[in-house]
Chains A and B, each alone.
Chain A
Amino acid sequence: MAWMAWTWPTAAFFLCVALALAVLTVLELKVPTVQRRGWLPLATTRGDRFFISLLAAAFVHVSWLAFLDAPVYWATGLAVLLGAGLMRWG
Chain B
Amino acid sequence: MRRWDNRAWLGVLPVVLIVAFSAVVPLMTVVNYSVQDIFDLNNRLFVGFEWYRDTLRDPRFLEALLRQLGFSALVLAIEIPLGILVARNLPRRGASAGVWLVVLAIPLLIPWNVVGTIWQMFARPDIGLLGAGVNALGLDFNFTADPVDAWIVLLMMDVWHWTSLVALLAYAGLAAIPEPYYQAAELDGAGRWQVFRHVELPGLKPVLLIAGLLRLMDSLMIYTEPFVLTGGGPGSSTTFLSQHLTTMAVGQFDLGPAAAFSVLYFLVILLLCWLFYTAVMRSEDVEGGPGGH
Chain A positions near chain B (C-beta within 8 angstroms) = 2-7, 9-10, 13-14, 42, 55, 58-59, 61-62, 65-66, 72
Contacts A9-B35, A10-B32 given; does A2 touch B41 at CB 8 Å: yes
Contact between chains at B49 and A7 (CB < 8 Å): no
**In the complex, which residues 259-277 of chain B have their Cβ closer than 8 Å to any Cβ of chain A?**
264, 267, 270-271, 274
| Complex contact A5–B56 (CB within 8 A) | no
In the assembled complex, B236 has its CB within 8 A of some CB on chain A? no
Chain A residues with CB under 8 A of B31: 10, 13-14
B41 touches A62 (CB 8 A): no
CB distance from B258 to the nearest CB of A (A): 13
Q: How far is the CB of B56 from chain A (nearest CB, A)?
A: 4
CB of B244 to closest CB in A, whole Å: 17
Q: Which of A2, A3, A10 has the most CB of B within 10 A?
A: A10
Complex: A14 Cα to B24 Cα, angstroms: 11
Give A58 to B266 CA distance when docked, in angstroms: 11
6 contacts between A and B (CB under 8 A): A3-B41, A4-B28, A5-B38, A55-B274, A58-B267, A62-B264
Contact B46 A72 (CB under 8 A): no
Residue B278, interface by CB 8 Å: yes
CB-contact partner of B49 in A4, A55, A65, under 8 A: A65
Are B52 and A5 within 8 A (Cβ)? no
How many residues on chain B are close to A (CB under 8 Å)? 25
Residue of B nearest to A67 (CB): B56
Q: How many angstroms between the C-alpha atoms of A6 and B49 in the bound complex?
A: 15
Contacts of A61 in B (CB 8 A): 49, 52
Task: Give the dominant DSSP class at A's interface.
Answer: helix
Main secondary structure of the interface of B (DSSP, over half): helix
**B48 near A: Cβ within 8 Å?**
yes
* A7 in complex: contacting residue of B36, B264, B271, CB < 8 Å: B36
Q: A42 contacts B29, CB within 8 Å?
A: no
- Partner of A65 from B29, B56, B270 at Cβ < 8 Å: B56
Per the bound structure, the CA–CA distance linking A4 and B264 in Å amounts to: 19
Instruction: Looking at the assembled complex, report how far the CB atom of B281 sits from the nearest CB atom of chain A, in whole angstroms.
Output: 9
Most chain B beta-carbon contacts within 10 A, residue among A2, A6, A7? A7
Q: How far is the CB of A85 from chain B (nearest CB, A)?
A: 19
Note all chain A residues with C-beta closer than 8 A to B282.
42
Q: How far is the CB of B222 from chain A (nearest CB, A)?
A: 23
8 Å CB contact of B44 from A5, A42, A66: A5
Binary A-proximity of B14-37 (CB < 8 A = 1, otherwise 0): 000000000001001101110110
* Known A-B contacts A59-B267, A65-B52; A4 and B46 likewise in contact (beta carbons under 8 Å): no
Contact: A5 with B41, CB < 8 Å? yes
Closest to A56 in B: B271
- What would 18 more interface pairs be, CB under 8 Å, given A4-B29, A65-B53? A2-B41, A4-B32, A5-B29, A5-B32, A5-B33, A5-B41, A5-B44, A7-B32, A9-B48, A10-B32, A55-B270, A55-B274, A58-B267, A59-B271, A61-B49, A62-B52, A66-B53, A66-B56
